[in-house]
């Protein structure tokens, strides 16, 4: 059985990516959640992850860290991770890598916080550029491969990489084209995404750094946390 190590569902966008992909593809795994405690979790997380970060996948003595490496490891064992069509696979891998390495303004100004809704108060040229690029990227995939998902009719790794973006788009009210918004809301309606967000709302932990970062650029509209 695979073991996936993640952090808070409310904040950990990187953890969400392999988690939702494995859920959507029916890949069985044990979930291990270790909450963030302040800005530096390196030593605590290094007990299960060589780089002291999440996510991390364990498989019968093998350890795979970094979300993109985990996706590629899964792809060697499960053919539906990437689309089978060569053009679609090329697009999907390129778009996933771009998300993995870029969109710094979107990440910095709109951290993923599942439990809260915001209204952007002060954007930036960088955020505007990231949103325009998202629109172009989504429009290309949806038009070229003519499906509900970015690389065709089936959910694949490229969609998993943009699931945290869908949460940001909804919770910050980010301006995208209707085509892109519809795609984001299709992701949010997936059962594993609904389960992830539901669990996030019940978490008791507060990441002060992410919360403070969000409030630099946005006003809090609604806190949806259900503390238990």
Task: Identify the structural domains of the chain with CATH numbers, from first to last.
Answer: 2-75 (3.40.30.10), 86-196 (1.20.1050.10)
pLDDT at 48: 96
Q: Are 113 and 225 in contact (CB under 8 A)?
A: no
Cα 168 to chain centroid distance, Å, stands at 9
Distances in Å between the alpha carbon of 158 and those of 34, 71, 198?
26, 10, 23
Q: What angle do CA 93, 163, 85 make, to 5 degrees?
A: 30
| 185 touches 96 (CB < 8 A) | no
| Mean pLDDT of the residues in the chain | 96
| Measured distance CA(15)–CA(159) in Å, rounded | 14
Query: What pLDDT does 37 receive?
Result: 87
For residue 121, the model assigns a pLDDT of 86
pTM over 0.75: yes
Q: What is the pLDDT of residue 168?
A: 98
With pLDDT > 90 as the criterion, what percentage of the chain qualifies? 93
Residue-wise pLDDT tens for the chain (228 aa)?
999 999 999 999 999 999 999 999 999 999 999 999 878 899 999 999 999 999 999 999 999 999 999 999 999 999 999 999 999 999 999 999 999 999 999 999 999 999 999 999 877 999 999 999 999 999 999 999 999 999 999 999 999 999 999 999 999 999 999 999 999 999 999 999 999 999 999 999 999 889 999 999 899 999 999 875
Report pLDDT for 228: 56
- Integer angstrom CA distances of residue 188 from 3, 72, 160, 191: 25, 24, 11, 8
């Amino acid at each position: 059985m695979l073991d996936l190590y993640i952090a808070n569902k409310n904040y950990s966008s990187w953890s969400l990516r392999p988690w939702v992909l494995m859920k959507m593809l029916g890949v069985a795994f044990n979930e291990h959640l270790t909450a963030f405690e302040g800005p530096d979790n390196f030593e605590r997380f290094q007990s299960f992850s060589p780089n002291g970060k999440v996510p991390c996948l364990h498989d019968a003595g093998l350890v795979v860290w970094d979300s993109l490496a985990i996706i590629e490891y899964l792809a060697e064992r499960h053919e539906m991770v990437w689309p089978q069509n060569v053009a679609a696979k090329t697009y999907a891998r390129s778009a996933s890598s771009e998300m993995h390495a870029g969109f710094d303004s979107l990440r910095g100004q709109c951290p993923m916080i599942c439990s809260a809704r915001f209204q952007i108060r002060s954007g930036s040229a960088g955020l505007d550029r990231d949103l325009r690029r998202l629109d172009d990227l989504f429009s290309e995939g949806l038009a070229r491969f003519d499906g509900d998902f970015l690389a065709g009719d089936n959910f694949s790794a490229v969609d998993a990489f943009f699931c945290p973006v869908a949460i940001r788009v909804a919770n910050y009210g980010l301006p995208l084209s209707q085509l892109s918004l519809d795609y984001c809301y299709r992701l949010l309606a997936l059962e594993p995404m609904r389960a992830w967000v539901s669990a996030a709302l019940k978490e008791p932990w507060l990441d002060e750094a992410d919360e403070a970062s969000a409030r630099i650029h946005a006003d809090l509209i609604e806190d949806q946390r259900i503390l238990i």
